Each structure stands twice: as C-alpha cells, then as structure tokens.
Amino acid sequence: MRSKKTALLTTAVALAASAVLAGSTTGFASTAPGDHEGDQPGRQDAYEVGLFGDMPYAKFGRAQYPNVIDDMNGTKLAFSVFDGDTKNGKEPCYADPHTPTDKTTDDKAVADATYQDIYKYALNLFGLFHDPVVYLPGDNDWTDCDRPRIEDGKVSDSNDRLAYERALYYPTDRSLGQRTIAQIRQSAAYPENVRWSRGPVTYIGLNIPGSDNNFTVGTAEGPEAQGQAEYKARNAANLEWLRAGFDAAKAAHSKGVMIVIQADMWDPTATVTHFADTKAELARQSIAFDGKVILVNGDSHSFEMDKPLTDATTTPAGFPDPKVIENFTRVTTFGEVQNHWVSATVDPKDPNVFTFHQHLVTANLPTYIPPTPIPPTPIPPTP
C-alpha cells in the first residue's frame, strides 16, 4: 500500500539462473526440486522461521536486497515467509506478455535492455534462497497496478496481474526456494491461500492486501465494480480458509497458529474499513483457541510487536468496552528503506511457543549523523 520513493527496476541485483516453474494451478503436481519435507506436526525440535517482505523497493532496495538474502542464507531456517510487495507502489507492473503497453519509464533504456517482467524478476530472486520460501501477494504486486503512473498516467489491470501471479508463483503444491516444502492450497481459484504445519504450529497464509483489501468505491460498472466483485469473492474465501486453518490446528493439537498476510489492518493512516470481517473472525477464532496466535503482516515497513485485537465486550449500558485478546500477538516486519528481517524461534517446550528476533543486516545499516548539539540557553542574572 505504501508508495514512497519512485524508481524503476534496474540491474542492481544479479539474477541467478532459476527456472520459472510452468504448469496449471489445478493440478498442483509436486514437481519442484529439493527435499520433500511436508507436514510434520509431531516434530519436537525447536526451529527458526524467517519473516520478511516489502522489498526490494526501487534502486535503493535492489542494491540492499542481496545482503538480506545472504544474511538469511547464513541462518539455518526451516522456511521463510514473504508477506508481500516485491516492489514499491509507483513502479510499473511489467508482466509478459503485457509489456508493450507499459514501457514509458524514467529508466527505459536500462529496463528494456535488462528485463520486461517484474514478477519473473522477483521469482528468480526467491530462487536464490537456500531454504523454502512461501510467497504471499501484496497490494503493490497487484491491487495498486491500476493506479495511474506519474510518468504517463498509464495503468495495468489489477485482476489480470493477480491471475498472472497465481499462474506464475503457485503451479504446484510446493513452496519456492532451492529447498521446498509441501503445502495445502485452498483451491485452484485461490492457490495463494495456503496451510502447512511443523512441530507445534499450524501456519496459514492469506491474500489480504493493503489498499483496503482491494475494495474500490465507485460505480456499478467498470473497474470499480470489478474490484468490488473481486473483494467480495476473495474475502469470503479468506474467511473460510481462516476457519479451516483453526479447525486443522485444533485437530492437530497445535500449540500455536501463525497467520501471515500483507495488510496492516490497524494502520491509522490508511482506510481499513474492509478488514472488519477478518478482524472479527480472528477475534472469534483466537478466543476459541487454547494456544498462542500470531499474525504477521508487512505494509508499514517497520518492525513492531503489539496486541491490537480486541473482543466485542460492552458495558451493562451497552457501550463498547473491548478487552484485549491476550493470546493474540501481531508482528509487523521490516521493509522499504529498512531492509532487514525477523525470525521466530518455535520451541515446543516453551509455554509461549514463539520468540521473535530482529536481524539487522550490518551491510544495510545507514551512516548516522548525530544532530548538532543545542547550546544551553543562558540564564539571565538575578537583578
């Protein structure tokens, strides 16, 4: 959702030779290479999970992203989850075979000579990760593709870009990365909605983007109506998948559930009206779950841990008196100009199940300039 610094994709990151998987989203054949570690709910070892997203943003991010990849590859991770936005909101949504209508750019010569498709570009970068990577879409990747571009006012079709992502990123039942894990996908229509488990935790991935969950206010026809129809169908599917995930967690006797989405549903600077259903369902499911619930999101670009979810308690007079749902914790990951990542230690022997750690990538730390000291104000002498 955040659109800040404008620049277009360049050659700052060298691409590895990584094949783009081809196939239908209906079959989910297990064709990806790597080990075949699937659902393992009974494992009792502690392990680490990587959490990151909102990168690389423009030239600055693409210069720093390799350092994030190297840092994560230097850590033994069971898997990582990318919580959306492989570019900033002002960069064009290049995609084969749609490129001819999307070529005007302030870096056109470099872009045309180097690559055409930002989705394949991001997919190749995920191929650099040694361990499994689960990708979830962000609003910059599809929702905001119908936003007019500053250079030429051109737009892309957001629903078209989402369909393209689904075909490109989710052709099988395996994750991305050089080593892969098996996942359960909701359906051919919503392959990005996934579930898997390891040890004491059930993991749920949902396509819930910023920009008010892709709801568009407007007319009964045209792009606005298409956005409203897309939101309505996907929102229903998301709620169904969320309920199914908690049912699976209870059946597996999981001690924890981790849900990963892109949107910051509590962003005070954004419109968040069309996240109400999701928040209400999270509240219902968390209250009914005898364990720890973690929600991971990106979108706001700065690491944070808080407890923003409340129940529907009212006073005897009927006034709202919401109570914080204590077993629910929200974690927001780094992004944009803060190119770092977060890990979660999952330990079956830990009553809290999850412990979170910031990983500040040394090569990506800025050079700090201390403020100039302010001289003290002289105290006038007493007359």
Convert the pLDDT of each residue in 365-379 to its tens digit: 999 999 999 888 888
Report the C-alpha gap between 344 and 292 in whole angstroms.
Answer: 13
Percent of the chain surpassing pLDDT 70: 80
Convert the pLDDT of each residue in 281-312 to its tens digit: 999 999 999 999 999 999 999 999 999 999 99
Tell me the CA distances in angstroms from 381 to 198, 375, 376, one per residue in order: 71, 18, 15
Tell whether the model's pLDDT for residue 106 goes beyond 70: no
Q: How confident is the model at residue 113 (pLDDT cuts 50, 70, 90)?
A: very low
Tell whether the model's pLDDT for residue 317 goes beyond 70: yes
Top pLDDT among 103 and 327 is at: 327
Residue 107 lies in a domain: yes
Report the C-alpha gap between 376 and 373 in whole angstroms.
Answer: 9
Top pLDDT among 253 and 11 is at: 253
Tell whether the model's pLDDT for residue 338 goes beyond 90: yes
Strand partners, 196: 203
Tell whether the model's pLDDT for residue 135 goes beyond 90: yes
Tell whether the model's pLDDT for residue 21 goes beyond 50: no
Report the C-alpha gap between 174 and 181 in whole angstroms.
Answer: 6
Indicate the residue type of 18.
S
Comparing C-alpha atoms, which of 199, 310, 202, 188 is closest to residue 247?
A: 202
Top pLDDT among 105 and 185 is at: 185
Tell whether the model's pLDDT for residue 82 goes beyond 80: yes
H or E segment to which residue 80 belongs: strand 79-82
The per-residue pLDDT for 180 is 98
Indicate the residue type of 263.
A
Tell whether the model's pLDDT for residue 278 goes beyond 80: yes
Tell whether the model's pLDDT for residue 100 goes beyond 50: no
Q: What is the mean pLDDT of residues 232-253?
A: 98
Indicate the residue type of 28.
F
Report the C-alpha gap between 203 and 230 in whole angstroms.
Answer: 25
Tell whether the model's pLDDT for residue 234 goes beyond 90: yes
Report the C-alpha gap between 137 and 209 in whole angstroms.
Answer: 7
Report the C-alpha gap between 243 and 230 in whole angstroms.
Answer: 20
Residue 294 lies in a domain: yes
Residue 137 lies in a domain: yes
Q: What is the DSSP string of 146-181?
A: GSPPTTT-----HHHHHHHHHHHH-SBSB-BSSSEE
User: 180-181 and 184-185 as β-strands: parallel, antiparallel, unpaired?
Assistant: unpaired
Residue 43 lies in a domain: no
The number of distinct structural domains making up the chain is 1
Indicate the residue type of 148.
P
Q: What is the mean pLDDT of residues 86-94?
A: 88
Q: What is the CATH number of the domain that holds 97?
A: 3.60.21
What's the mean per-residue pLDDT of the chain?
85
Comparing C-alpha atoms, which of 24, 73, 2, 76 is closest to residue 46?
A: 76
Residue 331 lies in a domain: yes
Comparing C-alpha atoms, which of 164, 189, 19 is closest to residue 97?
A: 164
Residue 30 lies in a domain: no
Q: What is the pTM of this model?
A: 0.84
Report the C-alpha gap between 211 and 269 in whole angstroms.
Answer: 11
Top pLDDT among 147 and 381 is at: 381
* Torsion over CA: 356, 359, 360, 364 (sign): negative
Residue 4 lies in a domain: no
Q: How confident is the model at residue 14 (pLDDT cuts 50, 70, 90)?
A: very low
Top pLDDT among 137 and 151 is at: 137
Percent of the chain surpassing pLDDT 90: 69
Tell whether the model's pLDDT for residue 20 goes beyond 70: no
Name the maximum alpha-carbon separation found in the chain.
90
Tell whether the model's pLDDT for residue 240 goes beyond 80: yes
| Residues with Cβ within 8 Å of residue 123, at least 6 apart in sequence | 18, 20, 168, 169, 176
Report the C-alpha gap between 121 and 216 in whole angstroms.
Answer: 28
Residue 347 lies in a domain: yes
The per-residue pLDDT for 103 is 43
Q: How confident is the model at residue 39 (pLDDT cuts 50, 70, 90)?
A: low
Q: How confident is the model at residue 157 (pLDDT cuts 50, 70, 90)?
A: confident
Comparing C-alpha atoms, which of 199, 132, 181 is closest to residue 354?
A: 199
Domain with 272 in it: 48-364
Q: What is the mean pLDDT of residues 195-205?
A: 98
Q: How confident is the model at residue 216 (pLDDT cuts 50, 70, 90)?
A: confident
Report the C-alpha gap between 211 and 299 in whole angstroms.
Answer: 10
The per-residue pLDDT for 225 is 76
CB 269 within 8 A of CB 56: no
Tell whether the model's pLDDT for residue 49 goes beyond 90: yes
Q: What is the mean pLDDT of residues 125-137?
A: 98
Convert the pLDDT of each residue in 114-128 to its tens digit: 446 899 999 999 999
The per-residue pLDDT for 34 is 39
| Tokens representing residue 284 in the block | 């219902």
CA angle 258, 299, 354 (to 5 degrees): 25
The per-residue pLDDT for 1 is 53
Q: What is the mean pLDDT of residues 96-106?
A: 49
* Torsion over CA: 308, 339, 65, 55 (sign): positive
Q: What is the mean pLDDT of residues 130-136?
A: 98
